[in-house]
Amino acid sequence: MANVNLKINNIPVTVPAGTTVLEAARLAHIEIPTLCYLKDVACVGSCRMCLVEATGARGLVAACVYPVAEGMEVKTNTEKIRKSRKMTLELLLSKHKKKCLSCERNHNCELQRLSAEYNADEDYFEGETLANPIDESAPYVVRDNDKCINCMRCVAACKKQNVGAIGPIGRGFSVHVGSAGEVKLMDSVCVGCGQCIVACPVGALKERTTVDEVWAAIGNPEKKVVFFTAPSVRATLGEAFDLPVGTNAEGKMVAAIRRLGNVEVFNMDVTADLTILEEANELVARIKNGGTMPMFTSCCPGWVKFVEQKYPEFIPNLSTCKSPQEMFGGLLKTYYCEKMGIAPENLYVVSVIPCTAKKYECKRPEMNGEVDAAITTRELARMIKTAGIKFADLPDEAFDTPFATATGGGTIFGATGGVMEAALRVAAKVLDGTFEVIDFPEVRGTAPIKEATYNVAGREIRVAVASGLANASEILEGIKAGTRKYDFVEIMACPGGCVNGGGQPTLPDSIRNSVDLKSLRAAALYTSDKTNSYRASDESPVIETIYKEYFGSPNSEKAHKVLHTHYHADKRI
């Protein structure tokens, strides 16, 4: 591809043809403000914040969609541009609910930041006072349209997921985001993935918080409170405390939770390992006994709900295994309570998860209420800040026993392809006792769809990995059409997997648009895996003890009662 030479604010820049002015400006270390643009999600040029002057153009142009040209000269900071941006902000503020001090996104809001930078007057234009009802119908997300700036990034994120639960309704000044027929979010086809939340530049969308309930349990002397943390949280929590993206903050995370009160902190990687033992043996049983194939992973509740609503014919293909979150809930309320002599009703179980759909999952009747509260990475960060804990200064501390030690296979669950690789490490050994391969690089990386074939015990095992529900649809439609043939398929609802989940820290657009979050976060997990003394889930001494003392063997009757579940068709409008 030919290169194009141009100048941005008199700085020479050379970029490939087809590059936008916005992308080219970054190479000159110039950040052009945006509100509607979000890399890999939305690029429509509708907010008008990124307007610039460019030779050959009539008037101001939107940098996020305007392509560079040979010899072009771009100005990004003239008086005309600054006045335009300031007016745009003041128009947005004229109908925006300005309750910044009590907003979830206070000090982390793109509109607030830009308004301060451009000295925008929030009362310059007298707008209409809005009073749209707050939608709190779902257990995982809250929508407040009076804070919405109609950037439509949430709509683009939902469309990109091939869910389409929300869209623009009305025209002109009355346009707003909602679901078809103006139904509540819980009654729509929303699967709870939360990608709309991390896409939103303001506070119009947030998770349905259970922090107050968790604080109450910690303060209740009649309750024993235990936390357990999902694999990906260690790779993202540090971002909420200004640590570099990709920092493995496991030790500080454990230390911080321990300082919230009289609580114990367990490692969810343990039940990721447990999931693998159950799932790998289920896969082998299906292969040997002619079970429903291909088998799909069932760790991701957003993906499971997507199947239940859009592809119910594939429900028999889902593994019957609970997710690691729900396996831990079941394990704690049975094995752990019996072992420690605790009444299950006196044990308060808190999972720390990267995912808003997990909030929905723990409310499903099939899960028997074994997880009392699921809080996101963001919610945990707020609790740590409320407690006045200086996160960056904390020492590294280890998880509490008996659920402290896990394998690298459990850790990589947080990245797309991680569940598949962890399962292959065990399933291949079950099929062929001499199989010694540990690393399966073909299923790693952030590509939307990855495929591989492995020869195990004289049989070809065909696998596929997809992240993002639009890519899941492509896989499923291919299976239906007979053009894709697999034995085992891993699906994660969120692009890149749990490291990019809807409950992860909301970072400034300047970072989201220029940093490969998915790869850097996943790298922290793979590094941890590589240095772990135990790489395959069947090597875990904790799992060995759990089976010896309680379940007997994978897929036993007792294991099915506690660790497995069922799914059902859920046709929405």
The amino acid occupying position 381 is: A
- The yes-or-no answer on residue 282 being catalytic is yes
Catalytic member of 147, 278, 498, 528: 498
Angle formed by the axes of helices 301-310 and 469-481, to 10°? Answer: 50
Which helix (H) or strand (E) covers residue 113, if one does? helix 110-117
Those residues whose C-beta lies under 8 Å from the C-beta of residue 83, and which sit 6 or more positions away, are none
Which helix (H) or strand (E) covers residue 265, if one does? strand 263-267
Catalytic member of 86, 160, 358, 450: 358
Contact of 53 with 80, CB cutoff 8 Å: yes
Q: Is the dihedral of CA 531, 537, 542, 545 positive or negative?
A: negative
- The yes-or-no answer on residue 358 being catalytic is yes
Contact of 160 with 468, CB cutoff 8 Å: yes
Catalytic member of 179, 319, 537, 540: 319
Within 13 Å and on the Cβ side, how many CA atoms surround 94? 12
| CB under 8 A, 24+ apart: contacts of 126-134 | 126/94, 127/93, 127/94, 127/95, 128/95, 128/173, 130/95, 130/97, 132/176
Catalytic member of 23, 90, 279, 490: 279
Residues written for the chain: 573
Bridge partners, 7 (sequence order): 12, 73
- The yes-or-no answer on residue 299 being catalytic is yes
Q: Which of 153, 85, 145, 144 is nearest to 115 (CA)?
A: 85
Catalytic member of 278, 361, 370, 421: 361
Q: Which residue's entry shows tokens 């902000």?
A: 89
Contact of 328 with 266, CB cutoff 8 Å: yes
Catalytic member of 70, 366, 544, 549: 366
- The yes-or-no answer on residue 498 being catalytic is yes
- The yes-or-no answer on residue 361 being catalytic is yes
- The yes-or-no answer on residue 519 being catalytic is no
Catalytic member of 282, 370, 379, 539: 282
Catalytic member of 109, 148, 193, 299: 299
Those residues whose C-beta lies under 8 Å from the C-beta of residue 216, and which sit 6 or more positions away, are none
How far apart CA 374 and CA 254 sit, in angstroms, is 17
Alpha helix ranges (H) inside 389-454 = 408-411, 418-431
According to DSSP, residue 42 is labeled B
Catalytic site residues? Answer: 279, 282, 299, 319, 358, 361, 366, 498
